[in-house]
Each structure stands twice: as C-alpha cells, then as structure tokens.
Amino acid sequence: MEVDVLIVGAGPAGSTTARFCAGKDLGVLLIDRRKEIGYPVQCGEFLPDASEMYTMFPRSMDLEEQFTIDPALIAAEIDHLDLISPRGRVYRLGFKGFTLDRRSFDKHLAKLAVEAGARLETGESFLGIKDGVARTTMGDVKAKVIVGADGPNSKTARSAGLQNPDVRYPAITCQADGSFEPVVRMYFGTLAPGGYGWVIPKRKGANVGIGFNPGLLKDRPSELFRRFIDRLGMTYSDVAMGFVPQSGPVIDTVKGNVILVGDAAGHVMATNGGGVPLAMIAGRIAGKSIRAHLKDGAPLAEYERRWRYVMDKPLSDALWTRRLGDLFFPSDRRTEFAMRVLGKRGLARAIRCTKVFYVF
Ligand SMILES: Cc1cc2nc3c(=O)[nH]c(=O)nc-3n(C[C@H](O)[C@H](O)[C@H](O)COP(=O)(O)OP(=O)(O)OC[C@H]3O[C@@H](n4cnc5c(N)ncnc54)[C@H](O)[C@@H]3O)c2cc1C
C-alpha cells in the first residue's frame, strides 16, 4: 500500500498531526494497535486551560482553536490546585483547567482527523521499518513521511534509529467513587517518591493515582498504590498503568522521513507530568510542517525548529526544577522543608515550568 503520510498512534499527538496534515490532496493513514481509541485510560485526565498554557508556553499561538473544549468532553472544571506536603500542610494555588473524559476526548480528536480526510485503522500495529518501508499488521506501507506518535516506548523511533525518552516514570491510575470539590489535590513525599499522588475530581468520582521515580522505590508499585488509596479511603475500579517521559525532549525528533511527536518525542512537563496539551501543540505543528513539506517542498526539519521555538525553554526549565527536586524527594523531612522554603510562589513557578529561583 502507498500513502503520503503514515501516522503510528491515534493518541492526542497522532490524531492532531493527522487532523492538520490530512486533506483531499494528501493520503494520510492513521493506525493504532488499540481496538478502542482512548481506552484503557492511562492518564490523570487533567488539562490546563488556554490562559494557563499561554502563561507556561508564551510563544504558543492560537491555542483557543485546540483548547476550547466541547463541554460534553469535560468531566469537571478546575479553579485551584492543592499541593499537600508530607505533614499535610496545604498550599492552595489558583490554576484553571479541566478534567477531561479522556476515553471520549481521544475519540473526539480521532474523529476530527477523519473529518479532515485521514483514514483511521484501529487494532493495527506498526512492526518496524525495513528498506524504507513500514511493516504493519495491515501489510507493508510505503509512505513519504512516517510519524511516530506511539508513546514513550516508541517502536517507530527505535526502527528509525532515533532515541526513546531515556527516563520514564511509572504511573498508576484508577477511577474512584465519591464526590469531590473542584480542586486538584497533589500529595508529595515518600507516598510517591520523586513524583506525586493525585486526586483529580470529576462530575462523578475522581481520577486518583500516583507517579513516582522507580529509582527511589522501596516497595512494589502495586503496594505503593494500594497504600495511597487506603489512606484516602476510596473504592475504585479501572486500574491502569503507564509511563511518563521525565527526561525532557529527545535529542532529535526528525531523521530522514521520520518524525516524532508527543510522548515519543519527550514532549512532557517534567514538574507535573502533563503531556496531553503538548502532544496537541506539537501535533498541530507537525501536521502543518508535513503539509508544507509535501505540498511546497519545505524541509521536514522545520517541524523540529518550530516546536523547539515554542517548548524548548519551558521544558528545560521544568527538567531543571525536577532535578533540583530529586535532592529533596527521597525524604519526607526534606520534602517538607523544600516546600516551606519555596512557599506558594516557588511552588506555583515549579508547577508552571518556570525555574523555582530566579536563576538563568
Ligand atoms: C498514569 C498517567 C497519568 C497521566 N496524567 C496526565 C494528566 O493528568 N494530564 C496530562 O496532560 N498528561 C498526563 N499524562 C501523560 C499523557 O497521558 C501523555 O503525555 C499523552 O497521552 C501523550 O499523548 P501521545 O499521543 O503522545 O501518546 P499516547 O496517548 O500514549 O498515544 C500513543 C498511541 O500509540 C499507540 N501505539 C503504541 N505503539 C503502537 C504500535 N506499535 N502500533 C500502533 N499503535 C501503537 C497506543 O495504542 C496509543 O493509543 C499521564 C500519563 C500517565 C501514564
């Protein structure tokens, strides 16, 4: 089979890339190994609103186009984050965002791609690249451009001789029952060493989970998760595990006719683990860059230049802060101390991908 663009992975990165490059004049094939797009949900489902994204990524443009979310896909509107220290001290920060219904949200993004003209095939896997041709469970696919939007353990990247994010933190999530005020709660300390535990409210129940540095782990991940849930005293279902890139963007996101987008490219904020908005921003840049490449002969490498212009500084500042945090996180006492020293202002800077001290 021959197509102009093969996109591997119909998560936020792949579907958005497909949406912005597809059209009657370009044949775009979007494949995902999942039978149902967006399920299981391996996500906390939190999305900052457009105003927060402009604050964190001031060079981004036209975010309203992507971050004006259909109310049917929103499970709660959020005004505040509570950052909770190991001893229970609460630092409340104003922060606007939404809890998504990600099972529906990912389907919605895939539908926009199909409406733009992409062909979507679910239950189909990318297997590798041989002699420049992509091998898939649908057979060989010859494509002018191949997009790796297949998550943090991207087979597309490895097949093309590109890197995967070299640090990936495990994260476990579930859907909990109960009613919750519209505040995201983030719990720090050895309950989730090097990361945090979260309660992200929904209209009914909450998304609850933990993400942590596996190098600091003393127990099994399942034990850590059970202890966190027990402490909150919740009943829950739909437990799922995934990995969150934590080493910043990979060195190269373009090689030959292959490009990487979203988690595959390490497009994740290291201080909060958020990757959905960046997958969408990078996907839009990727889709437009591919179109300019195939229709007007622009170099594919323009994609890398353009996403770095928007994201490089905030993502490297976030990485710097996370590495600083690694000095404190192994101990509850030091975490408590660091949170007191930073106070609300420093913590707000960290969450928003700005260096916590005024250092350049
Ligand atoms: C537990 C957890 C909680 C999180 N919480 C949040 C949060 O609250 N907010 C936030 O912004 N981010 C969060 N993240 C991160 C966020 O989920 C990711 O950054 C985001 O999903 C990245 O989108 P993506 O499209 O790059 O990758 P993905 O959403 O992972 O999509 C990749 C797709 O590729 C498909 N695929 C993989 N390999 C192949 C193959 N060989 N062939 C075909 N298809 C393939 C997969 O099936 C998948 O559908 C969380 C992550 C985890 C693990």
* DSSP codes, 176-221: E-S---SEEEEE-STTSTTSEEEEEE-SSSEEEEEE--GGG--S-H
Tokens encoding 190: 């050895």
Q: Is the pLDDT of residue 140 over 90?
A: yes
Q: Distance between alpha carbon 338 and the CA centroid of its chain, in Å?
A: 26
pLDDT tens digits, 187-220: 999 999 999 999 999 998 999 999 999 998 888 9
Hey, what domains does the chain have and what are their CATH numbers?
Answer: 2-351 (3.50.50.60)
Does 249 sit in the ligand 1 pocket, CB within 6 Å? no
What is this structure's pTM? 0.95
Q: How far apart are CA 50 and CA 48, in angstroms?
A: 7
What DSSP letter does each residue of 221-272 carry, written as one string? HHHHHHHHHHHHT--EEEEEEEEEE-S-S-S-SEETTEEE-GGGGT-S-TTT
Higher pLDDT, 188 or 359: 188
Looking at residue 356, its pLDDT comes to 62
Distance 84 CA to ligand 1 centre (A): 26
Does 253 sit in the ligand 1 pocket, CB within 6 Å? no
Q: How far apart are CA 174 and CA 199, in angstroms?
A: 10
**What pLDDT band is residue 352 in, cutting at 50, 70 and 90?**
confident
pLDDT tens digits, 63-75: 998 899 999 999 9
Average pLDDT, the chain: 94
Does 106 sit in the ligand 1 pocket, CB within 6 Å? no
Q: Is the pLDDT of residue 358 over 50?
A: no
Ligand 1: atom nearest CA of 154 is 38
Average pLDDT over residues 290-301: 97
Ligand 1: atom nearest CA of 262 is 26
**Cα torsion angle, 166, 278, 286, 313, sign:** negative
Looking at residue 360, its pLDDT comes to 34
Q: How far apart are CA 263 and CA 176, in angstroms?
A: 26
Q: Is the pLDDT of residue 278 over 60?
A: yes
pLDDT tens digits, 231-254: 999 899 999 999 999 999 999 999
**What pLDDT band is residue 357 in, cutting at 50, 70 and 90?**
low
By alpha-carbon position, which residue is closest to atom 29 of ligand 1? 11
Looking at residue 188, its pLDDT comes to 95
Does 165 sit in the ligand 1 pocket, CB within 6 Å? no
pLDDT tens digits, 53-107: 999 999 998 899 889 999 999 999 999 999 999 999 999 999 999 999 999 999 9
Ligand 1: atom nearest CA of 32 is 44
CA-angle at 230, arms to 350 and 347, nearest 5°: 10
